[in-house]
């Protein structure tokens, strides 16, 4: 009997994983924060995946966080700033056999979650898959990508990677997941804030080549200073490749601002600037970008933490 996948976070990636796991016939349950959200979910009858213009609804069962049933495998797919509180809401259901897959952007939230539930195994994930919600409980699969998973404390790959293969989720177990997370952080810092400030799709940054190049130079210095030379290697060409490959997409931060949601600035630009300060490394353009983004969010009346 397969272990149930509990999915906490009904955003784009959480819904994308839940529907594909359900499509593969694997047991999945959606964990919702309260009874009102559970009733709202039950009223629509399931999660809808839109792929190549075709919509399919999957009747994934739902439950509230305060249920008493133990959780052995939890996909934590909420925003970085919600991760610690979200896992605290189900901590009573986790034990030494529980495994958490942390699908958060940036850095900082992973350590906070691990400290919250020291009894459980925490596996970090870094994904390049593209998806967006076009309604409550609906997700549009916008771009095929890849997900890297790893656990610096226990490098042995878990057996349940077979479930991901069955669900058609392209993945790889990484012995050095921290390199992946730092690389993704740098990519996000070089692209996401600029798309917000220039009010453009990712492809619009091709007109701001010098600005992108300057940020990449500072981020490369930062990664090398942090002992992440592999993450720093050829960063600028990679950023330019991502901008070109995702030219028609809006960044996750752009989507957050457009939908008047809190951004993950604290786990991206803020985190990078704080680490630079700790290493006594000057990153004037990253710091200026951070201040511009904070001012922009303040003007819109959105949180800047």
Q: Give the dihedral sign, CA 254/256/257/258.
A: positive
Closest residue by Cα to residue 47 from 26, 74, 19: 19
* Polymer length of the chain: 305
User: Look-up: residue for tokens 């404390």?
Assistant: 153
Please check whether residue 182 is in contact with residue 198, taking contact to mean a CB–CB distance below 8 angstroms: no
The CA distance from 282 to 198, in Å, is: 25
User: Look-up: residue for tokens 């990078």?
Assistant: 272
Question: Residue 225 phi/psi, 5° resolution?
Answer: -65, -30
Q: Give the dihedral sign, CA 115/64/40/102.
A: positive
* Annotation says 184 is catalytic: yes
Six-digit token string for 86: 């979200």
Report long-range pairs for 194-199 (Cβ below 8 Å, ≥24 apart).
Answer: 194/289, 195/250, 195/251, 195/253, 195/254, 196/251, 196/253, 196/254, 196/257, 196/263, 196/293, 196/296, 197/289, 197/292, 197/293, 197/296
The CA distance from 113 to 107, in Å, is: 11
Identified catalytic residue from 72, 79, 184, 201: 184
User: What number of helices (H) and strands (E) belong to the chain?
Assistant: 12, 12
Please check whether residue 221 is in contact with residue 283, taking contact to mean a CB–CB distance below 8 angstroms: yes
Which are the catalytic amino acids?
A: 184
């Amino acid at each position: 009997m397969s272990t149930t996948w509990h999915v906490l976070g009904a955003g784009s990636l959480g819904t994308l994983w839940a529907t594909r796991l359900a499509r593969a016939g694997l047991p999945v349950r959606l964990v919702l924060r309260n009874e009102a959200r559970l009733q709202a979910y039950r009223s629509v009858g399931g999660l809808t995946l839109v792929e190549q213009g075709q919509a399919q609804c999957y009747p994934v069962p739902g439950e509230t966080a305060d249920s008493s049933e133990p959780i052995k495998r939890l996909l934590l797919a909420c925003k970085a700033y919600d991760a610690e509180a979200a896992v605290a809401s189900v901590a009573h259901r986790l034990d030494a056999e529980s495994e958490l897959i942390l699908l958060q952007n940036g850095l900082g939230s992973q350590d906070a979650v691990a400290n919250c539930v020291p009894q459980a195994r925490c596996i970090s994930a870094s994904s390049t898959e593209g998806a967006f919600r076009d309604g409550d409980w609906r997700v549009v699969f916008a771009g095929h990508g890849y997900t890297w998973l790893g656990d610096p404390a226990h490098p042995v790959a878990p057996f349940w990677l077979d479930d991901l293969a069955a669900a058609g989720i392209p993945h790889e177990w990484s012995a050095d997941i921290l390199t992946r997370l730092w690389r993704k952080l740098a990519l996000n810092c070089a692209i996401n804030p600029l798309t917000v400030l220039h009010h453009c799709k990712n492809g619009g940054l091709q007109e701001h080549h010098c600005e992108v190049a300057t940020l990449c130079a500072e981020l490369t210095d930062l990664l090398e200073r942090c002992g992440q030379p592999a993450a720093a290697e050829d960063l600028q060409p990679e950023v330019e490749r991502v901008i070109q490959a995702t030219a028609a997409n809006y960044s996750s931060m752009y989507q957050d601002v457009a939908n008047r949601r809190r951004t993950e600035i604290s786990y991206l630009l803020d985190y990078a600037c704080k680490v630079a300060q700790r290493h006594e490394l000057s990153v004037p353009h990253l710091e200026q970008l951070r201040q511009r983004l904070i001012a922009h969010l303040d003007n819109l009346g959105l949180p800047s933490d």
